[in-house]
Structure 1
């Protein structure tokens, strides 16, 4: 008899546990993870492509050398040449082209005006906080699209706040490692880390009695004690017109319309004191030769 032809793929010879050869049939179609399977899936328009495990790491970026997405040109200003070379090396690791390395602040501003720079890293160790902040403002005015980063070895909080308020994107300490400096540069261009910033407290408005001057408090105290304008003027040795002027200021600060409302406000807020009764004796003119 003629043997019947076998249907399907050719059986694969595999060795079992006891050394005997056993035959098994391979499933029809190409194996998963091969190039043929991927190509066939793409031709058929499949949404999911079967791939082997060793192909997944290729979809993720390589670690250790994270570069910026857009081409960047940088300008470096530092009055210490050693730091110029160090910053150039760090920027080179991010594939950032260093267009110029300068030690003169005025020349750096001229370069910002003439050429278009994406990044400006500066360090002014010999300047105080106010001078450094003014230079940052000048750099931002010379090139509004340039990201300004300040490098310094000083940790003065007032200096840091002045520089950041002037327009610097970051304040980098020179004691950081190269990896931290690279991370700060990347965050200046592509923000991926967001830190919580506590909201600033609004300054509390002063109470109305805190806005009154010492003379106005004295006049309000006498008015609350029931003294007239002429009596207040005689007690304080001022003219009656001066008393009226002070009262108009008091009405405006307290938000009242007349002396009655001002006296009621003084009693309600504890501004009226008993010292007003002593003023006549203190302010009365002394007669020479009269018994004390």
Structure 2
């Protein structure tokens, strides 16, 4: 009598903790994932605090987590607080949020309008230790992180923040008690560091990277 095939492998389903502060969304995701072969929903959480607690208790392979949970901790803070792969699923398509999630160690970042098959595939990839970011999002993350690492001085950030509020060079000079020429010099340095050539582009790049409001 032959023994068990040593080459045969037992396929353990990927365990998932679903985190979302909207009950309907949470229920929908749970229903979607529960019928997927190879996936097992082991729990649900309605906020970040519950997510961190359940992640420690249930030790899922992947935490599928909304970015904004109505209170602290949010999805980024959950990512920093748990010892498992966190896949951010959100409606917010902002470069600053992307960068925050990636810097916190998120396994991936998906939008809630993603196809169900893409969400399932992303969970499986995250469970394998892979990073889940499409080429479009990847290029945006790289660009935003480049801006954040541009090493703007405190004064340059201050000037850029006032530009973002709509102040003219003259108004900025008056508020900072410097000359307009000094303001222009700061802005020229900002343009060079951010790789842009005008005020609008500088503000857009800085806002995208979360450097100014």
TM-score, normalisation: structure 2: 0.51
**Correspondence for 1:101:** 44
Q: SS at the partner of 1:85?
A: helix
**Correspondence for 1:166:** 104
Which of 21, 24, 30 lines up with 1:79 in the alignment?
21
Q: SS at the partner of 2:106?
A: coil
Identify which range, 96-105 or 154-163, moves more after superposition.
96-105
Q: SS at the partner of 2:38?
A: coil
The answer to whether the Cα contact below 8 Å between 2:107 and 2:131 also exists between their aligned partners in 1 is no
Measured in 1, the distance between the counterparts of 2:73 and 2:55 equals: 21
User: How far has the Cα of 1:155 moved from its partner?
Assistant: 0.2
Measured in 2, the distance between the counterparts of 1:133 and 1:193 equals: 16
Q: Does 1:120 align with 2:63?
A: yes
Measured in 2, the distance between the counterparts of 1:173 and 1:130 equals: 20
User: How far has the Cα of 1:91 moved from its partner?
Assistant: 2.0
Measured in 1, the distance between the counterparts of 2:68 and 2:16 equals: 20
**Correspondence for 1:133:** 76
State how many pairs are aligned. 133
User: How far has the Cα of 1:192 moved from its partner?
Assistant: 11
The answer to whether the Cα contact below 8 Å between 2:49 and 2:73 also exists between their aligned partners in 1 is no
Measured in 2, the distance between the counterparts of 1:129 and 1:165 equals: 18
User: Which runs of no fewer than 5 residues in structure 1 stay unpaired?
Assistant: 1-67, 206-292
- CA distance change for structure 1 residues 176 and 162 in 2, over 3 Å: closer, same or farther? same
- CA distance change for structure 1 residues 86 and 95 in 2, over 3 Å: closer, same or farther? farther
Q: SS at the partner of 1:117?
A: coil
Q: What is the 5 A alignment of 1:143-292?
A: 144=83, 146-190=84-128, 191=130
Measured in 1, the distance between the counterparts of 2:108 and 2:91 equals: 14
Q: What is the 5 A alignment of 1:33-52?
A: none
**Correspondence for 2:207:** none
**Correspondence for 2:196:** none
- CA distance change for structure 1 residues 187 and 129 in 2, over 3 Å: closer, same or farther? farther
User: Which runs of no fewer than 5 residues in structure 2 stay unpaired?
Assistant: 1-9, 152-213
**Correspondence for 2:165:** none
Measured in 2, the distance between the counterparts of 1:160 and 1:174 equals: 14
Q: SS at the partner of 1:137?
A: helix
**Correspondence for 2:203:** none
The answer to whether the Cα contact below 8 Å between 1:90 and 1:182 also exists between their aligned partners in 2 is no
User: How far has the Cα of 1:158 moved from its partner?
Assistant: 0.7
The answer to whether the Cα contact below 8 Å between 1:130 and 1:162 also exists between their aligned partners in 2 is no
Taking only aligned residues, the RMSD between alpha carbons, in angstroms, comes to: 3.5
